[in-house]
Structure formats: C-alpha cells, structure tokens
Amino acid sequence: MRREYLGVVVLLATAALVTGCGGGVQQAQPRRAAPSITGGYGYGSDVNPADVKPADQVQVVEADFYGHQALKMTNGLVTLVAVPEFGGRIMEYKIGGKPLLWVNLDEVRAAAPTAGGEMAYGKKAWRNFGGYKVWPAPQTQWHGPPDPPGSDLEGGRWTGRIVKPRGNVGEIELVSPPDKTVTGLQITRRVSLYVGTTRVRVQETFKNVSARPVEWSIWDVTQVPGSLAPDEAFTDDARVYFPINPASRFEGGYKQLIDKPSGQWRVIEGGLVEVRYKNELGKIGADSAAGWIAYVDDRHDWAYVKRFDFQPGATYPDGGCSVEVYTSPDEAYMEVEVLSPLRRLDPGGEMNFAEDWYAARVGAPIRGVLDLAAVTEPLALAARDGKTHVVGTLGVFRPARLQVLMLDKGDKPIGKPIEQQVGPVEQVNLDLPLDLPAETETVKLKLVAEGSESQLARLPVQSRAQTK
C-alpha cells in the first residue's frame, strides 16, 4: 500500500484534435491517423504518480480500439474510451495506466469488422465485450441479452460524435438504433469528462419512439475485474461495497436475485454490504438510499466509485432495488449496477438518469463517499504519546489541499490551518499530531480544490481522549 501524500504538479498536455469519427461515428472532418489503444485490463498497479498529472484542458479525439473506431477522452488523470459499434459501450476508464473496467479481449479481437463494415459474428449472437452499457429494466420484460428479435439496443451498431473536443469539459454522444417494436426505446448516452478531476458524468436518456406507452427503468451495468492477476481464476481482493438502507424493505438489507446460495457477500460493521468475488454465480439487489456503490481492487488499493441520486418513495424494479451486484461463474468479472425508478413514457416522452464516476488510490472497505473523497477508515482524534492525533484513511478524487482547522467555541478558526497537498494516485493515511490551543473546541477537516470544497469531518475535542 502507498502511504505518502501526493503533491500536485500541473503539466500542460497536447494531442491531435478532431471533431468527429467515421463509420459508426458521425464524421465532420477528414479522418486523421487515429492512435491505437491496446493493453491488458484489470491487472497490476504500475501507475507512476509522476505520469499522472492534470492537463490544462480535456482532450477528445478519435482512436482505434483493436481495429474498431472509438472515441477517446483524456485529462491527464483519467482516460475514457467508448466504442459506438459495440452497442455504444464505454470500454475503458482508467487512472494513469490502471484500468478499472473489465474487458473481454477474446471477444473484442473476435469481433473483427468485415469488408462491408459489419461484424463477423451473427447479428443476434451475444458478445460479452465487457465495459459499461445500459439495459432496460426489468429484465423479465426486456428478455435480453442478446437483443430480442427486432431490437438492437444492446448489441447493435450505435452512432457516436464528439460534442466538445477540448476545454474545461470534454463531451461525447452515443445514440442507439431506434427500437419501435420490442421496447419502444431509443437510447442516447452523453459522457462528460472534466478538467482536473477523475470525475466522469454519464447521462442516459430513454425516448419512447413507439406509438404506445411504455414503462422502463434505466439500468446501468459496469463490468469490473474479478481477477487481479493473469494466472488467477478469481481474486477475493476484488470487492464491491454499498451501504444498506436502515429502513430497508428486505430482511438483512438486501435480497438474493438468483436462487443459488453464495458465500460471496455479507453485511459488515457500519451497515455495509461487502461482496468478495469467488468466481461463483450469484446476484443480489438492495434498496440502498445513500447514492453510491464502489468497486475496490484491494490487492493494489484502487477504487472505482459511482454516485447517483436515489429518489425516496419512487418505484424501483426487481422489488425495489436501486443497486445490484452480479458475479460471473465463467469469465472473471462482477457487475456493478445502478437502477433508476420505473417511469411511464407516452409516445415521444423521455426520461433521464445520470451518475458520476470517480477513481482514487484507496483500499477496502469503502465506508463512505463524499464529494471529493472515499473514506476507508473514518477520521477521528486519537490520544497517543501525550499528543492528540488526527487519524484516518481515505482516497481523493482530484488534486486538492487537505486542511485541518482548529475552531473555538464560536466556531472561529484559531491560527492558520494546517495544509497538505493530496491527489488521487496516493492513498491518504493520516496520523497527524496536533498542538491544540486550550480554547480549541472542534477540529475540522476539509478538502479544497479549484471551484469546490468538501467537508470531511468535524471532530469534538472531547473525543481526543479516545485511544487507538
């Protein structure tokens, strides 16, 4: 595990820019030579902090993904790659050189386009490429994957275009073929990457393009690595966490969605569901209300976090599930899934659902998620060797200043705050001794980044009597 703080260095980055792609991607300019994307997925932690530096702007370009036209977004911290002809999937989200999505390279390589531009495999054969996609829920009403006859939402050739090629925000759009007969839907995916952060916003839109009313939930599915070494069938250091709802409708806070016993999940201290991958078939769902779910590579201390809005009182699919986790018994992956409320759409009607992705260097378990950080060990005051220490462990989603402030009875700062530069490729392990003035009532910790601020904790000084 990494135990140092990361200083923030800003490095300007340049890249060839274009405004569109051809083939399955709408082309607005003549094609230039596209960079090729290759590499392994899910293994190792060979990220050199010196190579992960925020650029002065986001860059969006066309690229080649194993022979398939793709859209690539970078900001110096993270890289995202979407492939329109793979059903609009996001095939890569990585921080530095660390991939956080599972990719089935055998299927990707087998899906070589023919001379006519179509896939070499049969139209209705389901190719589990990996990455991120969205499905209509409930699954019992959709009857996929693969796409039912007459539908091409999941595996069809989508179109894609670059909306914003550079700047503080880069943006792409991916659009499915219309499905007027089976689901009645057409799906539009907007993906936005922001400068100076690991944050990605993924917004899905379902539009009713049929002549009848339909009712669906937007169901996002991200496949993440279940093995963390190429010679392993599985690794139980590959884990997923989400908080149970204290007022859950389900006994124990979650429900089993596949009628097969599994020892892969349990509720741990703090009301968290922990899933440890053991290469077994299984699926659970929960009415989690906290608005986050996280995947952790606990062998190398990397986390992929999704945040979303939970709507109390709304009707969710699968008996009320807002989050679900599937574990594959074949290929080594898990699915981290988030569902929107069910909504009826009249002809021409639309519904939207958005989530934010983040990456950070941090180990398991993820006990809480804030605007700028994922917390593993809650922040606290501990008395040791005659001093009061601030202790705790977290990972941050963007370069920031961690501030420790001492406040008096009137909540006014005493002296100058203690500051430390932190960043997303170094886990933050706090064990900071404090010289507390007698009038100190509260110790406050916060993260401050350009244009944003996130409070981490307010710690009453009385708690310094605690030992650790």
416-455 pLDDT per residue, tens: 999 999 999 999 999 999 999 999 999 999 999 988 899 9
The answer to whether residue 117 scores a pLDDT higher than 50 is: no
d(CA 13, CA 19): 18
Residue type, 13: A
Asked if residues 55 and 176 have their Cβ atoms less than 8 Å apart, the reply is no
CATH 3.10.310.70 is the classification of domain 372-465: no
Alpha-carbon torsion angle 201, 334, 86, 55, nearest 10: 40
Using CA atoms, how far apart are residues 22 and 33, in angstroms rounded to an integer?
12
* Residue range 167-212, pLDDT digits in tens: 999 999 999 999 999 999 999 999 999 999 999 999 999 999 999 9
Contact 303, 366 (CB under 8 A): yes
CA neighbor of 400 nearest in space, from 445, 345, 466, 342: 445
Mind giving me the DSSP string for 268-283?
ETTTEEEEE--S--EE
User: How many residues are given for the chain?
Assistant: 468
Q: Does the pLDDT value for residue 12 go beyond 70?
A: no
Tell me the chain's radius of gyration from C-alpha atoms: 23
Task: List phi, psi (to 5°) of 162.
Answer: -85, 120
For the chain, the distance separating the N- and C-terminal CA atoms, rounded to the nearest angstrom, is 21
Domain 36-360: CATH architecture, name and number where available: Distorted Sandwich (2.70)
Could you read off the pLDDT of 374-431 as tens digits, one per residue? Answer: 999 999 999 988 899 999 999 999 999 999 999 999 999 999 999 999 999 999 999 9
Which residues partner with 90 through β-bridges?
A: 82, 132
The C-alpha atoms of residue 228 and residue 332 are separated, in whole angstroms, by 9
Domain extents for the chain?
36-360, 372-465
Sequence-ordered strand ranges (E) for 318-370 = 323-327, 333-339, 343-345, 350-360, 368-369
Structure tokens at 105: 């390279």
Q: What pTM did the predictor assign?
A: 0.89
β pairing state of 265-268 and 272-276 = antiparallel
Query: Are 362 and 427 spatial neighbours (Cβ–Cβ below 8 Å)?
Result: yes
